[in-house]
Amino acid sequence: MTDDSRLIVVVEDDHLVARTLQTTLRDFGFTAEWCRTGAELLRLMRERAPALCIIDLGLPDGDGLDLVRRLQSEQRCGILIVTGRGFLTDRVIGLELGADDYMTKPFEPRELVARVRSILRRTGRGAPDLPAAKASVRRARFAEWLFEPANLTLTDDAGRSEELSAAEARLLTLFLENPNRILDRERLAGSRDLSPYDRSIDVRVSRLRKRLRDSPSHPVLIKTVYGAGYLFAGRVEWEDS
């Protein structure tokens, strides 16, 4: 069986950019495959399970944002958007659809690798030191909710369940593991060099609040601590299923 724990798939129609990405990733020990279109990626994913996909938005067979949306609904892998489209609307939409990070071209190869590693750490892919077996049986109870990280499922008291995106589940897990503690935006984003103007984590928090039915104007669970970060308010009970 093929080990895909270090597999990164580059979805990019420009062969020079794709070659640069592949070479950079391979130099740092990753396995890198190239797909020119979204359709090629979907065919590959019938047989392979990449740890992360690097996606350009301007693909020959459609908008990369549509591909991000489909991956989030059908697959579980990290997603890094790398594109020449630097518009704020594209960035916000990409993150709202579930992308883990967003970079614009031209990019610095070492920064790209750092972001790839950060995503893999947050997803638990390619990180053998994480006790996966233990994580697979843990679940958390809080307020009216039961959260099961192993299958990304959030269930309310009425028994209604929905599946979170991988990015939403990682953010919720971090909050639940640190209740009633202020977490700064850098820690929540998994980046130490987050720009003061980078609102990506705010978009993710807003999306998670909607999932938890937490009022954006008067949140009860995820509170904004202005100038400091966010705080998950309430009691959390972790248990083994």
pTM of the shown model:
0.59
Of the pLDDT bands very low, low, confident and very high (cuts 50, 70, 90), residue 126 is low
> Which residue, of 123, 144, 159, is where some domain finishes?
123
Tell me the mean pLDDT in the region 116-122.
Answer: 85
Provide the mean pLDDT of the chain. 85
- Look at residues 65, 91, 123 and tell me which one is the last residue of a structural domain: 123
Q: Do residues 155 and 145 make contact, with C-beta atoms less than 8 angstroms apart?
A: yes
Q: Per DSSP, what are the bridge partners of residue 237? A: 141
CB 112 within 8 A of CB 103: yes
Given a cut of 70, whether residue 18 has pLDDT beyond it is: yes
77/147 same-domain check: no
Q: Strand, coil or helix: what is 103? A: strand
What pLDDT shows up at residue 106?
85
How far apart, in whole angstroms, are the C-alpha atoms of residue 174 and residue 182? 11
Higher pLDDT, 131 or 80: 80
Question: For the chain, how many helices (H) and strands (E)?
Answer: 9, 15
- The string of pLDDT tens digits covering residues 180-224 is 999 988 788 765 455 555 677 888 899 899 999 999 889 999 999
Mean pLDDT, residues 59-75 taken together: 89
Q: What domain range is 214 assigned to? A: 132-240
- Report whether pLDDT(70) > 70: yes
Tell which of 123, 149, 172 closes a domain: 123
> Alpha-carbon distance 189 to 143, whole Å?
24
Those residues with Cβ within 8 angstroms of residue 221's Cβ, 6 or more apart along the chain or in another chain: 142, 143, 209, 212, 214, 232, 233, 234
Q: What is the pLDDT of residue 132?
A: 38
pLDDT at 191: 54
- For residue 123, how far is the Cα from the chain centroid? 7
Are 112 and 153 in the same domain?
Answer: no
